Structure 1
Amino acid sequence: MSKYEFIEVEKDTNSDGQIISVFLNNPGSRNSMTWKMGEEFAEAIRSISKEKKLPRAVIISGKNDVFCAGGDLNLLRSFSEKTFSQNKKGMRKFYSFFLSVRNLPVPVLAAVNGHAIGAGLSIAFACDLRVFANEGKYSFNFVRLGIHPGMGSSFLAPELLGKSLGGRLLFSGETFTGIDAKNWGLAWQSHPKAEVYAKTKELAVYMAEAAPLALQELKQNLYSWKDLDRALKKEAESQARNFISADFKETLASVVEKRPPVFIGK
């Protein structure tokens, strides 16, 4: 079914199309998020939403033994070369590509089958339910890169975990595991990495047994796009400033020179 370069879409033939899986697939950079991947992801989500017979559930996962390493370094570098206005507009567009997953009218499960960092982790938070890999490493590392959290994370983390724990993950950029995610109630389940996708599909099949119209109504009523939109506007403005700061240029230099960044607050 897939027709994309960085996205794979698969229908589960054993469930008569009731389960559709969307995989991030950028093998050259641990499924990092590029502009092209974003466009393809949004198109895949639109196509699923327009199916004559909607699936009962959708799974979002990653190929290449990882979920998503976050924003592609070359894409981030390009933001540092643009103006505040260009970045502000560009960030809102980039967010919309991946957060389109919230537009799906059916339950969406994230099979977080490996590491998920920054904006990549936000995709999992934007899904309805999550299954994490026990040994996976997860982090909202934005502030450690010299930028404000983005991709809706400043809204999604407190929405799911509360302001105390959600704020802690955003302020610290600390790394947590799939077992942590399960203990916090963030993950429905956690399993060894090799089992995550299969276990998620089992849950999707279980959910597919419920009344589809009731699930679709629930999906429509469960979330507030208005609140998320306000957060995205603030994130875009903050990241637009941060990307042209001296601190973010220091981040880029530190990656090339393979050393910790030294921030000066400018």
Structure 2
Amino acid sequence: MKSRFESKEYEFLEIESRETEDGTILSIFLNNPSSRNSMTWKMGEEFADLIHSIRKQKKLPRVVIVSGRNDVFCAGGDLNLLRSFSEKSFSQNRRDMRKFYGFFLSVRKLPVPVIAAVNGHAIGAGLSLTFGCDLRIYASEGKYSFNFVRLGIHPGMGSSFLAPELLGKSLGGRLLITGETFDGNKAKDWGLALDSVAKHSVYERAMELAISLSKASPLALQELKTNLYSWKQLDSALKKEAESQARNFISDDFKETIQSIIEKRDPKFKGK
């Protein structure tokens, strides 16, 4: 019999529940096999709907795990979605980007611990989602990058706030400015990841951590999560990101990004 969390069917998400002696551990898997779990508008709506339904439950899960199917965590924004932004106006993009960020970063509003079981590559907005979780287990061989500037757009999905928040302005800013790629071992060295293990062991390690966390007082953890984060500060950053990305999406540089992806070559930006 499906649990109350698994009763609703989603197109781009899979949900699994594990009952322990201390309560439920809920796992959410991104599942977009045609494009390496890239983020679509529909996936975002489903993700926000699920988070909202979890928050409404009288009996909350003790821990939530966010992971990916298809041997990858998330390849970032879906190409068709990105192309659609290049065809909209500045005001439409500003509104839509702010809403899109909110779909996935709603995970930060869950009153229970959230573990990112990053079982493979996580790029751009996909990596930002892992930063929005409370704890992270990364695949040692996974590749991780904030590649926004290499696509001709300002960093989004809260990354301009989350990266400096977790790593400090120097290192966080470096990753955003350079778009450099790092692996799970480096993430652990930086203190970003609680652990770095082989990709086939990531979910198992995250479940082990979840079981341990489920033994803590849920009331204490809920209070702690409320006090740890300032949604007001993140929201302010999201507004600035949405405005900056909205300008970038209507630029010639971003049109060049889309064309270069289609033609499988490096973009040649001209700054206009």
TM-score normalised by the shorter chain: which range applies?
over 0.9
Deviating 4+ runs (over 2 angstroms): 13-17
Q: Distance in 1 between matches of 2:42 and 2:24?
A: 27
Q: Deviation at 1:16?
A: 6.7
The residue aligned with 2:115 is 109
Q: Distance in 2 between matches of 1:16 and 1:37?
A: 31
Does residue 42 in structure 1 map to residue 48 in structure 2?
Answer: yes
Distance 1:253 1:202, change over 3 A: same
Q: Distance in 2 between matches of 1:240 and 1:93?
A: 12
Aligned residues: 266
Residue ranges of structure 1 left out of the alignment (5+ in a row): none
The residue aligned with 2:30 is 24
RMSD (CA atoms): 0.9
Q: Distance in 2 between matches of 1:208 and 1:16?
A: 6
Q: Distance in 1 between matches of 2:201 and 2:55?
A: 28
User: Contact 1:9–1:44 at 8 Å: present in 2 too?
Assistant: no
Three-state SS of the structure 1 residue aligned to 2:83 is helix
Deviations 1:118-165 (A, max 9, x none): 000010000000000000000000000000000000000000000000
Q: Deviation at 1:258?
A: 1.4
Q: Distance in 2 between matches of 1:17 and 1:173?
A: 40
Does residue 175 in structure 1 map to residue 160 in structure 2?
Answer: no
The residue aligned with 1:230 is 236
The residue aligned with 1:69 is 75
Q: Distance in 2 between matches of 1:88 and 1:16?
A: 43
Q: TM-score, normalised by structure 1?
A: 0.98
Does residue 193 in structure 1 map to residue 199 in structure 2?
Answer: yes
The residue aligned with 2:151 is 145
Identity of aligned residues (%): 74
Does residue 53 in structure 1 map to residue 92 in structure 2?
Answer: no
User: Contact 1:158–1:164 at 8 Å: present in 2 too?
Assistant: yes
Q: TM-score, normalised by structure 2?
A: 0.96
Does residue 12 in structure 1 map to residue 18 in structure 2?
Answer: yes
Three-state SS of the structure 2 residue aligned to 1:13 is strand
Q: Distance in 2 between matches of 1:226 and 1:236?
A: 15
Residue ranges of structure 2 left out of the alignment (5+ in a row): 1-5
Whichever residue aligns with residue 261 of structure 1, its letter is P
